[in-house]
A and B are shown apart, each in its own frame.
Chain A
Amino acid sequence: MDSGAAVIVRAEQARRAAWRPDAWVVGALVLAALLALLVLNPVLRLLASSITDAKDGSWTLANYATAFSRSRYVQAFWTSMQLGAAVTAICVVLAVPLAWFVSRTDLPARGTIRMLVLSSFVMPPYLGAVGWILLAGPNSGWLNVIVRGATGMEGALFDIYSFGGLAFVIALYTFPFMFLFTSGALDVVSSEMEDAANILGAGTLRTATRITLPLVLPALLAGGIITFLETISLVGTPALIALPARINVITTQLTQFFAPPIRAEVAAAYTMPLLGVTVALYALQQRLLRRKGFVTLGGKGGERRVIALGPWRWVAFGYAAFILSLALLLPSIVLAQAAFAKAWGRGFSLENLTLSNFHYLLFQNAGARGSIVNSFAYSSAAATIALVLAIGIAYVASRRLVRFSPALGILAMTPFVIPGIVLAIAFYGAYAPPPFSLYGTGLILILAFTTRFLPIAYSSTGASLRSINPEMEDAVRILGGGRGTAIRRVLAPLMKRSLVGAWLLVFIPASRELSTAMFLYGPSTRPMSIMLLDLSEEGNFEHLAALGFLMLIATFAVVALGMRLVGRDFMLRREQRA
């Protein structure tokens, strides 16, 4: 055979080979199907259930009528909106100056402060709430006792059981979102504009408020929206504080719809406006950003200089220390006291010291021990599944292997904007009953956690994939290796560190997730968060604090391990782009 014919034959073979269904298209379709199961199906089932008559299965709007039939139900919805707005406002006050100090100024110990702010993420909001009940209970809260002792005043300076108290405590554990978004954006704003303002005579404060902050408006809005959505879907803090304070919010109202007779379809109808609120918030964000240009945020170009605050740096330091003591230090102290106390109200004394709370939880209460095991098993399974899915989707999306790859990316990010409690009800409707019959199994919790935190896994793996030039994989393929080889031998080693980081970023919030676990756990699948809620019913803060203490120690051990493996800044990669 002459060489010309051989070339033609080979070209023909190559053409045919190209027509063979690519294994990656099949893979992408599998991914799409999985995403449909995890994200699309529950949400569509939720929508369907909200317009279905539970008795005869016909279409109806009666569920919506029932869901908003009483002024109490409407009031709860409205209260949650106000709460969301109040918490977002407090978070702006707490987080934005702090982010500016940490990112742009010569604030002392800013590395440590950044780390401590992120550690607030490790403290579950409901545990912080327990701490704050001990601190600011109107009669016996430590802060009130101290104030009364020091000033001789009567009554209570702080009342945790109030709307303000509720908003304050929630804000203390959601402001890290705002901080992350803002500091992430401030980190890449170059100093040129600020220099221009300075040259034109503006001082540091004026420059910061008129130039720098408006430049990071997109990040501020994104952080604000996430703060708002997180706030309205919290379950634990309202159960601990809103209920005794006699404030009804969306999540307490939803649990009422799940009280006998269970009206999951009314709950579904009640949550639909929440998705509407989400859409409205993002529309508002688009409107606010549309007429403005933010091109300076585009690249990492430009020079960034640290702004010298002079003596003011110590004021800034005081502000940071103040916020961190409120969020971490004070609650940790009182939680530790209660965890080791016979009765927390008796104060700090040797005779009040005991290990019996831990003994009870670890050796007597089988439920508590089981819940610790459950939490760790489910959250590591969820982290692993989320990571595998995220890598697949990110790879398909970043290398544009199939036409519908952008849709995959959007689906993977969708759970980010679905409040956890809505996801829980959607999963309950889609997978609890037959044919799936997953209610009470560990699997339904694992899948719900996977879905809830898939956006975190996807955005962090996606970012690191995009930073790797496809040329290296192409080199492998030119040398005869398949895509699989390229991924195994080139990408995986390059991404190892960031994959471990992404795994931890899913594991940590999953291990303490409460909203998503509501309605999905069974008697043998209670995670720690539900166990804590069950213990809290009796108001036994000693046991509660001890379980929380165990939870924090376990999580910090995992974080420490993560820092050893991937460096202490792994939490910083979270969501900086969103």
Chain B
Amino acid sequence: MITRRTALAGAAALPATWAATPALADVAALEAAARKEGSLTWYTSHTDGEFAQAAASAFMAQYPGIKVVHIRTTAQVAYQRLLQDLKNGIANCDVFSSTDLGHDEALRIEGKFARYMPENAAALRPEYRGLDPADTYFATLSELVVLIHNTTKVKAADSPKNWPDLLNPRWRNQIAIGHPAYSGTVGTWVVAMRKLYGWSYFERLEKNRPLIGRSVNDAVSTLNSGERIVGMSTAGISQLTALRGNPVGLDFPTEGAVQIVSPSAIMANAPHPNAARLFMEWLMGPAHARLSAEAGRRPVRMDDAALTGTAAGGIPADAKVLRLSTAEIVKGIPEVIEQWRDTFGG
């Protein structure tokens, strides 16, 4: 949401940011400076661990001599570690990638982010631009939260097609979900469900005794093992798991898949600022977009249009998508974590 004040602040900040932005020819200079720093540390909750590893490896292959140390955890755990670092005056993290926009907003307000306008920001699709009017954090990944089921145990016709279908007593003891106090993706989903159906949705879901993991990816692993047979997760990890021959199917809910827009930012106290900038450029560049699309994720760049649908099944053109505003997420997630603990008790 852009208020008058933030718009003004953003406008005032723009020239300064642009002045600090290296021109196209400077990417070579950035690379040289990054190489001198030799490494960078990336706290990420954007994807599953395997994908984070693949992304780090791809970057290292493209820029030999610059090592990416990546720490993949759920968003709230990554944020907690980052705050602990900051509180103790430790500069560890160079690039921070959360799935909870609230983290980015809080850190931006506290002045913990460096200002850097990536060259590749120009290639963002319109709907992902201006996520932060002050241009400290940028969308680097997008996901859709969908309904999933175990295809060997649930017939395609019987699988839940819309969010309230999970409340059907037939799924008692058969549902797998993540935890909003760990996963930013789950947190955003819970806020969206509360907006659609009110908190009673979760009071009724509780009656079905879902198995609550931590990461949103946990639900897919649980489904895959057969321990539970329906649930929610991201389209990306579900499609990728299915592509590998696992019995995971997905449905795009009729009332809308929940869109997660995940930002990344460079820390103000980044020990490797140039490597961080280079990595930020890479995260917003075509190589990362291709890698993401191949893993079933939504492209955030305009030139990825052709990539849509490369993943197993792809995303149907008519799939309804729900997207919350930054303000709704910032305010909502801390609230639903408390409500969650009161309802589910853990």
Contact = CB atoms under 8 A, between A and B. Distances in A.
A519 B77 CA distance: 11
B179 to A, nearest CB: 7
Interface string B161-174: 00000000000011
B178 to A, nearest CB: 9
Contacts of B215: 537-539
Given A139-B173, A366-B69, A523-B71, A439 B346 contact: no
Interface residues of B, number: 56
A259 to B, nearest CB: 6
Contacts of B81: 522-523
Interface residues of A, number: 51
Interface in B161-196: 173-174, 179, 181-182
Interface stretch (A244-252, A276-284, A407-415): A244-252
Given A366-B69, A437-B89, A140 B225 contact: yes
Contact of A537 (B70, B87, B92, B218): B218
Contact of A258 (B71, B80, B88, B221): B80
A139 B49 contact: no
Contacts of A541: 221, 225
Interface string B227-255: 11100000000000000001000000000
A439 B82 CA distance: 12
Given A537-B74, A538-B221, A440 B346 contact: no
A262 B80 contact: yes
Contacts of A526: 71
Interface string A412-434: 00000000000000000000111
A242 B345 CA distance: 10
Among the interface residues B41, B85, B214, B341, which one has the most CB atoms of the partner chain A within 10 A? B214
Nearest to A248: B346
Interface in B78-137: 79-81, 83-85, 87-90, 92-93
Contact of B80 (A244, A259, A522, A538): A259
A72 B345 contact: yes
Contacts of B309: none
Interface in A315-350: 343-345
A155 B92 CA distance: 49
A540 B49 contact: yes
Contact of A139 (B53, B56, B212, B228): B228
A365 interface: yes
Interface in B195-228: 211-215, 217-222, 224-228
Name which of A137, A244, A537 has the most chain B CB atoms within 10 A of its CB: A537
A341 B3 CA distance: 53
A80 to B, nearest CB: 13
B87 A262 contact: yes
A439 B80 contact: no
Contact of B345 (A138, A248, A345, A439): A248
A245 B227 contact: no
User: Which of A440, A524, A543 has most chain B Cβ within 10 Å?
Assistant: A440
Interface string B65-77: 0000111111011
Contacts of A475: none
Interface residues of B, dominant DSSP:
mixed
Contacts of B344: 246
Contacts of B328: none
A256 interface: yes
A463 B344 CA distance: 50
A244 B212 contact: yes
A365 B48 CA distance: 12
A519 B85 CA distance: 11
B224 A246 contact: no
Contact of A364 (B57, B72, B225): B57
B41 A138 contact: no
A367 interface: yes
Contacts of A538: 48-49, 214-215, 217-218, 221
A94 to B, nearest CB: 27
A243 interface: yes
A24 interface: no
B88 A345 contact: no
A184 to B, nearest CB: 38
B346 A432 contact: no
A261 B79 CA distance: 10
B26 interface: no
Contact of A539 (B73, B77, B221, B229): B221
Contacts of B57: 364
B50 interface: yes
Contacts of B228: 139
Given A247-B346, A539-B217, A534 B224 contact: no
Contact of B346 (A137, A252, A540): A252
A136 to B, nearest CB: 11
A535 interface: yes
B345 A247 contact: yes
B173 A138 contact: yes
A78 interface: no
A77 to B, nearest CB: 14
Contacts of A262: 80, 83-84, 87
Interface string A532-567: 001111111101000000000000000000000000
A137 B222 CA distance: 10
Interface in A226-280: 239, 242-248, 252, 256, 258-262
Nearest to A156: B173
A368 to B, nearest CB: 10
Nearest to B50: A360
A139 B77 CA distance: 29
Contacts of B87: 262, 433
A259 B227 contact: no
B53 A364 contact: yes
Contacts of B69: 366-367, 523-524
B105 to A, nearest CB: 13
Nearest to B222: A539
A75 to B, nearest CB: 8
A198 B226 CA distance: 57
B55 to A, nearest CB: 12
A161 interface: yes
Nearest to B76: A259
A540 B90 CA distance: 31
A537 B73 contact: yes
A524 B67 CA distance: 13
B43 interface: yes
Contacts of A439: 84-85, 88, 90
B211 A244 contact: yes
B155 to A, nearest CB: 17
Contacts of A248: 341, 345-346
Nearest to B106: A260
B342 interface: yes
A523 B93 CA distance: 9
B49 A365 contact: yes
Most chain B beta carbons < 10 A, residue from A161, A437, A538? A538
A365 B53 CA distance: 7
Nearest to A439: B88
A432 B226 contact: no
Interface of B: 41, 43, 48-50, 53, 56-57, 69-74, 76-77, 79-81, 83-85, 87-90, 92-93, 173-174, 179, 181-182, 211-215, 217-222, 224-229, 246, 341-342, 344-346
4 smallest A-B Cβ distances: which pairs?
A539-B221, A539-B218, A345-B225, A140-B226
20 contacts: A246-B212, A248-B346, A259-B76, A259-B80, A259-B181, A260-B79, A262-B80, A343-B225, A345-B227, A366-B56, A367-B72, A437-B90, A439-B84, A440-B88, A522-B81, A523-B41, A523-B69, A537-B215, A539-B218, A540-B48
Given A248-B345, A262-B84, 5 more contacts: A246-B212, A364-B57, A523-B71, A524-B41, A543-B49
Interface of A: 72, 75, 137-141, 161, 239, 242-248, 252, 256, 258-262, 343-345, 360, 364-367, 432-434, 437, 439-440, 519, 522-524, 526, 534-541, 543
